[in-house]
Chain A
Amino acid sequence: MERKSDKKTGFFATLQQSPSTDEFIKGLWRENAVFVQVLGMCPTLAVTNSATNAIAMGLATTFVLLMSNMLVSSLRNFIPKQVRIATYILIIATFVTVADYVIQAISLDVHKSLGAFIALIVVNCLILGRAEAFASKNTIGKSFLDGLGMGLGFTFALLCLGVVREILGSGTLFGIPFFPANFQEWVIMILPGGGFFTLAAWLLIFNWAKQRKKKVVQLDNKEIAA
């Protein structure tokens, strides 16, 4: 009984503390799963040939990440250390099965175009990584925020790729024509090679921005020193 109330105060306390918002924000940008940590590459490249697919995949992953993070976190004191990875995988696989059937019920078209990649959410390194690195050590409240932030960051990254690939590869955005009728599609962008190239281009842009920022900071420091 005492333990239960302990957890509860812990839960509310984390929500009230300001660092908890940081658990949410960090997944969106600073520790973005795709652009910074380079995790979960397979779905990132495979299903981003249209913006709709990218959003569906991102939301499904967010759901699984959120649920598994919360369950792992609430069971973290009961899971023996030796079998923890197997336990996490089982928990994740259960939620993925749920997500698979839910997507099938909502839209058969989306289910068809995502294909085996819904089932493959199980082996998304991002989800197992968060369970192992975060949820197994933190309270439910924190894990919830972490899962939500990471999931939305992942969705954002998928959308970045999906939008570029759909506009250039099919000349549409969310299925609506984007260019005048005589636009010649770059078929390569919706083929596998295009996925690699688009992600490489985004990484180049981010690296460039990061280095530029570093240079500005260095210049500022020099000015201050002078």
Chain B
Amino acid sequence: MNADSLWYIFINASLINNFVLAYFLGICPFLGVSGKLETASRMGGAVTFVMLISSMSAYGIHALLVAIDAPFLQLISYIVVIASTVQLVEMFIKKISPALFRALGIFLPLITTNCAILGLALFQTSKGYGFVQSFVYALGAGLGFTLALVLMAGLREQLDLADVPNVAKGTAITLLIAGILSLTFMGFAGLGG
């Protein structure tokens, strides 16, 4: 498959190099909000939305920074765009669904410090993607993040019924499951062909 084709970019971002399970980006919400299936899927939606917006903005900012020859401002301007997008989403969710707003709690403003989003902006810049490619890349990354989060939430809901040894309760068992999920996702490596 052609490495620049849109389909490949999508599969690559969502499955082969899943942001959570292969790049370790966005681990904090992955461990923090994956307790319930419902919350997890909506969190995934919010992150995907922020990713799409910030990825498109990052494309514009990068072009601008190249034009004025100031690459050292890259990091600072990306993070400002992400922070303001998150603020927008926060106000939006608060207005639309106060219940969801409460369920997401502290993790909503923390989307700003979700490495997956800044990582996405940095990766697409270093890979030199065009506008459409960036959009598809962000979509794939967002859906991949949601997939990982939802899978994890489903597993953890089942885990509540299981008899976990006392020492492993909490973060340790979650990390073990994440490790096994990560091994599973390595199976997708063949898809790139």
Count residues of chain B with CB under 8 A from any CB of chain A. 43
Q: Given contacts A45-B24, A45-B27, A203-B175, are A123 and B186 in contact (CB under 8 A)?
A: no
Q: How far is the CA of A119 from the CA of B71 in the complex (A)?
A: 13
Q: Of all chain A residues, which has the CB nearest B22?
A: A192
Count residues of chain A with CB under 8 A from any CB of chain B. 39
Please tell me which one of the listed residues A89, A191, A203, A211 contacts residue B171 in the complex, with CB atoms under 8 A apart. Answer: A203
Specify the main secondary structure of chain A where it touches its partner. Answer: helix
Q: Are B179 and A196 in contact (CB under 8 A)?
A: yes
Chain A residues with CB under 8 A of B25: 42, 46, 120
Q: Are B21 and A90 in contact (CB under 8 A)?
A: no
Q: Are A42 and B26 in contact (CB under 8 A)?
A: yes
Is residue A150 within 8 Å, beta carbon to beta carbon, of the partner chain?
A: no
Q: Are B172 and A203 in contact (CB under 8 A)?
A: yes
Q: Given contacts A195-B24, A196-B175, A200-B175, are A96 and B75 in contact (CB under 8 A)?
A: yes
Chain A residues with CB under 8 A of B14: none
Q: How far is the CA of A93 from the CA of B169 in the complex (A)?
A: 36
Q: Of all chain B residues, which has the CB nearest A86?
A: B83
Please tell me which one of the listed residues A119, A192, A199, A204 contacts residue B118 in the complex, with CB atoms under 8 A apart. Answer: A119
Chain A residues with CB under 8 A of B112: 85, 89, 123
Please give the distance in Å from B187's CB to the nearest CB on chain A: 11
Q: Of all chain B residues, which has the CB nearest A202?
A: B172
Q: Which residues of B contact A (CB under 8 A)?
A: 21-28, 31, 72, 75-76, 79-80, 83, 109-110, 112-115, 117-119, 122-123, 126, 166-173, 175-176, 178-180, 182-183, 186
Given contacts A96-B75, A123-B113, A195-B24, 14 further A-B contacts (CB under 8 A): A38-B31, A41-B24, A42-B26, A45-B24, A94-B76, A97-B72, A97-B75, A116-B123, A116-B126, A119-B75, A123-B115, A124-B115, A196-B182, A200-B176
